[in-house]
A = this chain, B = another copy of it.
Amino acid sequence: MAGNSFGTLFRFTTWGESHGPAIGVVVDGVPPRLPLSEPDIQRWLDKRKPGQSRFTTQRREEDLVRILSGVFDGVTTGTPIQLLIENTDQRSKDYRNIADRFRPGHADFSYWKKYGVRDYRGGGRASARETASRVAAGAVARAILGPAITIRGALVQIGPHPIDRGAWDWQAIEENPFWCPDAAMALRWADFLDSIRKAGSSAGAAIEIVASGVPAGLGEPIYDKLDGDLARALMTINAVKGVEIGAGFGAAALRGEENADEMRMADGRVVFLSNNAGGILGGISTGQDIVVRFAVKPTSSILTPMRTVDADGNEVEIATHGRHDPCVGIRAVPVGEAMVACVLADHLLRHRALGGEI
């Protein structure tokens, strides 16, 4: 109840600090007899792993995952799955000088006010390193969802530069270091981020996640709406400041007849002529693609000196010299995918509990 768990039937709890011996996640509520192995999880962790291009932090974590429980003879047993990732490249000394200073944009101040104590090394528990555990949990969620449901993420904006949605090509996201579906924009972002990094600054971003093949009927009405849970899931990722579904904030400017997605029959099935709903009506999936977007603020750890205060109430200057991502939005793509997978897996089980066909 102190906030380190996510989900109801498919429920995971993460633990571990950025510079402790290890981080990990225990996943409970996994149905039995699902094939699962360490490589099934590792492939998603590798996607998130730092140090893969000059646009992400140079911290070198192998992020090798070990399954400590819940899997026997290659399949899940229905018992909790503990996934452990050792921390191997901590440089805690980097953080000594900021132990008592509240870095602007970071959780230093609010953790201090809440707990009166904090593991200041690398942000401790507030570090984005925690998201590796989310990605591991997401890999288990995908095992539940099965191959008929695909979840793909793309970076759709860096700084003031959104992609051209007309140029969207899912193939392109594998071919540039940004998971960008617009190949031309990816080149422009590279230049932009180089300039940002040289300036000792950082950039924000927006990510879009699309889930295809989701059956109609997932989501519980009222407070456990599928979009409500997705909003919470994505908003809890480090640095996220906004979440929208389908037409999102754009819907505010639409008229009723523009916004409502009309239905037709095609080959004996209901089809929609548009998807302003983002695949969700009344909190319940319609069978259309589920489309969510979230905004990530620029990395708060920047070389540019800023002014702040310390725990003793002195006004001080601070510049963050550790190894940081100039745009945390890039590595947020696999994290967003994982959180969407976890929400869907949970609601799949919940729907089945009440007799729903899946």
Contact = CB atoms under 8 A, between A and B. Distances in A.
Q: What are the nearest 7 A-B pairs in CB distance? A: A107-B282, A3-B220, A3-B224, A242-B244, A105-B260, A202-B256, A353-B353
B245 A249 contact: no
A85 B223 CA distance: 19
A95 interface: no
A348 B261 CA distance: 38
Given A2-B11, A251-B296, A286 B126 contact: no
B282 A111 contact: yes
A28 B4 contact: yes
A225 to B, nearest CB: 5
Interface stretch (A44-52, A166-174, A175-183, A302-310): A302-310
Contacts of A258: 298
Interface in A245-285: 245-265, 268, 270, 276-278, 280-285
A295 interface: yes
Interface string A327-358: 00100000000000000000001111111100
A200 to B, nearest CB: 9
A257 B205 CA distance: 15
A110 interface: yes
Contacts of A82: 15-16, 22, 24
A151 interface: no
A313 interface: yes
B110 A285 contact: yes
Identical chains in the assembly:
4
B118 A77 contact: yes
A105 B277 contact: yes
A314 B315 CA distance: 59
A278 B242 CA distance: 11
A203 B258 CA distance: 10
Contact of A109 (B227, B253, B286): B286
A221 B125 contact: yes
A68 interface: yes
A39 interface: no
Interface string A156-198: 0111100000000000000000000000000000000000100
Contact of A257 (B29, B250, B306): B306
